[in-house]
Amino acid sequence: MILKGSQRGGPRQLAAHLLNDKDNDHVTVQDIRGFVAGDLAGAMAETVAIAKGTRARQPVFSLSLNPPKDAESSVTQLMEAVERAEEALGLQGQPRAIVIHEKNGRRHAHVVWSRVDAESMKAINLPHFKNRLKALSKELYLEHGWQLPDGHKENGWKNPLNFTLADWQQAKRLGLDPREIKQVFREAWARSDNLASFKNALEERGYYLARGDRRVIVATDVTGQVYSVARWSGLKTKDVRQKLGDGERLPSVSVTQADLHHRVSDRLRDHLHNDKADQKAALQVLKDDLRKVVMKQRVERARLQSAQSIRRDNEVKDRASRFRRGLGVVIDVLSGRYFKLRKQNESEAYASFVRDRTQRERLYEDQRQERAPFQQRIENLQEAQKVHRAGLAQQIASVLRVARRTDPGRADRNRDYELELGI
Q: Per DSSP, which regions of 281-323 are E strands?
A: none
Give the global pTM: 0.56
- With beta carbons less than 8 A apart as the criterion, state whether 244 and 195 touch: yes
Please give the pLDDT value at position 178: 75
- With beta carbons less than 8 A apart as the criterion, state whether 156 and 135 touch: no
Half-sphere exposure of 412 (CA within 13 A, CB side): 9
Please give the pLDDT value at position 396: 63
Please give the pLDDT value at position 153: 47
pLDDT tens for the chain, 423 residues long, are 899 999 999 999 999 999 988 888 899 999 999 999 999 999 999 999 999 988 889 999 999 999 988 888 889 999 999 999 999 999 999 999 999 999 888 899 999 999 999 888 899 999 999 999 998 998 898 788 777 676 664 433 232 234 444 554 454 455 565 767 887 898 899 999 999 999 999 988 888 999 988 778 999 987 778 999 999 999 999 999 999 998 888 999 989 988 887 776 565 666 677 778 888 899 999 999 999 999 999 999 999 999 999 999 999 999 999 988 888 888 988 999 989 999 999 999 999 999 999 999 999 999 999 999 999 999 999 889 888 877 777 766 655 554 454 344 544 544 444 444 444
What CA–CA distance (Å, rounded) separates 177 from 246?
29
Nearest 5°: phi and psi at 119? -80, -45
pLDDT tens-digit series, residues 277-288: 888 899 999 999
Please give the pLDDT value at position 44: 94
What CA–CA distance (Å, rounded) separates 400 from 403?
5
Please give the pLDDT value at position 63: 96
Give me the residue spans of the domains in the chain.
Answer: 2-152, 165-263, 275-404
For domain 2-152, the question of CATH label 3.40.190.10 is answered with no
Longest dimension (CA), the chain: 109
How do strand 226-228 and strand 217-221 relate by DSSP bridges?
Answer: antiparallel
Please give the pLDDT value at position 309: 94
Please give the pLDDT value at position 398: 58
